[in-house]
Structure 1
Amino acid sequence: MIRSMTAYASAERAGPSGTLTCELRTVNHRYLEISPRLPEDMRGFESALRERIGARLSRGKVDITVRLRAEPGAAEGPRVNGAMLARLSELALDFEQRFPRMTIEFTELLRFPGVLQQPDTDADALQGALLDVLEQALVALNDTRAREGEKLGEMLKERLDGIERIVADVRVWLPEIQAALRARLEGRLADIRQPVEPGRLEQELVLQITRVDVDEELDRLTTHIGEARRVLALKEPVGRRLDFLMQEFNREANTLGSKSVDSRTTNAAVELKVLIEQMREQVQNIE
């Protein structure tokens, strides 16, 4: 299945502690790289979060941001430890008598460890809520990646059709090119004033045709076209396979250009490289 590695999705879920928001942003990357940003009290869920993402995505750089927004009445707020605050107040009064110039702010007392106590939270319920909202975001993300991937797949198929047409044209031209090569060789040998050895023309012709023979390159290009179409139809991530195929396409196009003795095959090699480069750029964004 063709899926793009570039997408964005978000989801929200209301829970006992407030509203959880999960945002996912993905861009192309050689491997799967996950960069989570979680509230401090959810740091312990990072491993489960990574496992869930890894089960859904195989490649791409994934930025995930989770926010917890407390709603009025959704959860009990911080509690004040009255006993500790009273003891700190007694100490503050005592210090003020001993050190008249010293001032102690009420907010400083609240910052003392243990004065403000967060309500106990159900860690399992919170983790479950996090994974639920993550799953919603992942479903939306993969839907977007699939839609973008479908567009990429159509573009790749059009380029493959173009490559196939060029290969067919070159096959048609080859007999003409070989005939023209023979005529040029005969003309050169005719200009030689010394007698030519019997069979010399045929030997030179065979040698030149062998040097410029591109049947093997055309056959390999045809094979690569068929393989690329097969890979595009697979129901699994295919980005790495397509990336390898682009290297093979490029190799054959380069060889075709280096063996060219005719402007038509030279132009064909250039057009091939343009199409292959367009494909290669898009393949970099396929999972």
Structure 2
Amino acid sequence: MVISMTGFGRSKAESGPFSVNVEMKTVNHRFCEFNFRMPRQLIKIEDKMKKKLNQQIRRGRVEVYVTLEGEGTVTRKVLADWQLIDEFYQFVLEAKNKYGIEGQITLKELLSREELVHIEESEAENEELENLVLKAVEQAASQLKQMRIAEGTAMKKDLESNLGQILTVVSQLKESAPLVVEAYQERLTKRMQELLQGQVDEGRILTEVAVFADKADINEEVTRLNSHIQQFFQTLDVNEPIGRKLDFLVQEMNREANTIGSKANDALIAKKVVELKSLLEKLKEQIQNIE
């Protein structure tokens, strides 16, 4: 089925003192790539988060933002370098005695020096919190997928409309092909009549026309084009990622269009080939955002 690679999902989960907020967005990408921005304490469950996301997302660049709120997510403790404090205190006393400096060493002076006393924060590990994060990630991913599916449904209609136009042009090419050979035969006959003053070698004309018809024959290319188009239609309903296959089919259709263009010795066919390539380019742009 057609699923867009563009989407957004948001979820909030709460349990006791904890609150988890998850936001994620996806854009088109050749492969499936995840980029997490979250507290360090959640790094150890990153693989579990990826598994949850892979159940909903098979292709695209995924940006995931996780924030935590509540008591217990961070622990703080005071760290003091007592040996350094002792040395600092003794140094100040010696300096006072040596230079006759007046004044007292206050607690404020000691606390203001980060090299002596500082507060260390650490992110607490908590299984309940980690399960809450996984739940929020799953909910956000589900919301994101629904958005991707909705956009994909609209994209499918545009693709089918474009394919219908391509089918029309291919049908016109097939109808025009025999006319090219007939027009060449008429031009060749008229030219030989002018050169030979009315005496025409019918056998030679038929031989030249046969050679031209073989070189200008586009039936094989038209047949392959129709086959690729039918495969494209069928692939749109396959229940798996289809973006890469559709891209391949468009490449093959472009190849056939180029071959027809190189064989064409007719202004009408050349015009139709230009129209066909324009429609294929539009089709290529459309499928770049399909999972």
Change (3 A) 1:223 1:19: same
User: Counterpart in 1 of 2:137?
Assistant: 134
User: Counterpart in 2 of 1:286?
Assistant: 290
User: Counterpart in 2 of 1:104?
Assistant: 110
The normalised TM-score by structure 2 is 0.85
1:253 matches 2:260: no
Which 10-residue stretch deviates more, 194-203 or 124-133? Answer: 194-203
- For residue 206 of structure 2, the aligned residue among 202, 208, 211 is 202
Which 10-residue stretch deviates more, 274-283 or 52-61? Answer: 52-61
User: Counterpart in 2 of 1:175?
Assistant: 178
Counting aligned pairs with the same residue, the percent is 32
| Contact 2:2 2:155 (8 Å CA) reproduced | yes
Change (3 A) 1:282 1:65: same
Deviations 1:235-274 (A, max 9, x none): 1110010000010110111112112222221111011101
Alignment of 1:17-28 (within 5 A): 17-28=17-28
Paired with 2:285 and 2:74, the residues of 1 have a C-alpha distance of 52
User: Counterpart in 2 of 1:219?
Assistant: 223
Deviation at 1:26, TM superposition (A): 0.9
Which 10-residue stretch deviates more, 95-104 or 184-193? Answer: 95-104
Deviation at 1:137, TM superposition (A): 0.6
Change (3 A) 1:126 1:239: same
Structure 2 gap ranges (5+): 96-104
The normalised TM-score by structure 1 is 0.86
Paired with 2:73 and 2:233, the residues of 1 have a C-alpha distance of 58
Deviation at 1:175, TM superposition (A): 3.0
Calculate the aligned-residue CA RMSD, in Å: 2.6
Change (3 A) 1:144 1:154: same
1:43 matches 2:43: yes
User: Which amino acid in 1 is paired with 2:227?
Assistant: T
| Contact 2:18 2:73 (8 Å CA) reproduced | no
* Higher CA-based Rg: 2
Change (3 A) 1:198 1:170: closer
Alignment of 1:1-287 (within 5 A): 1-70=1-70, 74-75=71-72, 78=75, 80=77, 88=82, 92=85, 95-96=88-89, 98-100=91-93, 103-105=109-111, 108=114, 111=118, 121-122=125-126, 124-193=127-196, 199-287=203-291
Figure out how many residues of one structure are paired with residues of the other and give that number.
Answer: 276
- The alignment partner of 2:13 has SS state of strand
| Contact 1:16 1:75 (8 Å CA) reproduced | no
Paired with 1:79 and 1:46, the residues of 2 have a C-alpha distance of 25
- The alignment partner of 1:5 has SS state of coil
Structure 1 gap ranges (5+): none
User: Which amino acid in 2 is paired with 1:175?
Assistant: P
Paired with 1:77 and 1:208, the residues of 2 have a C-alpha distance of 82
Paired with 2:123 and 2:63, the residues of 1 have a C-alpha distance of 30
- The alignment partner of 2:264 has SS state of coil
Deviations 1:89-123 (A, max 9, x none): x98477435425784225736526xxx6769542x
| Contact 1:260 1:266 (8 Å CA) reproduced | yes
Paired with 2:62 and 2:6, the residues of 1 have a C-alpha distance of 9
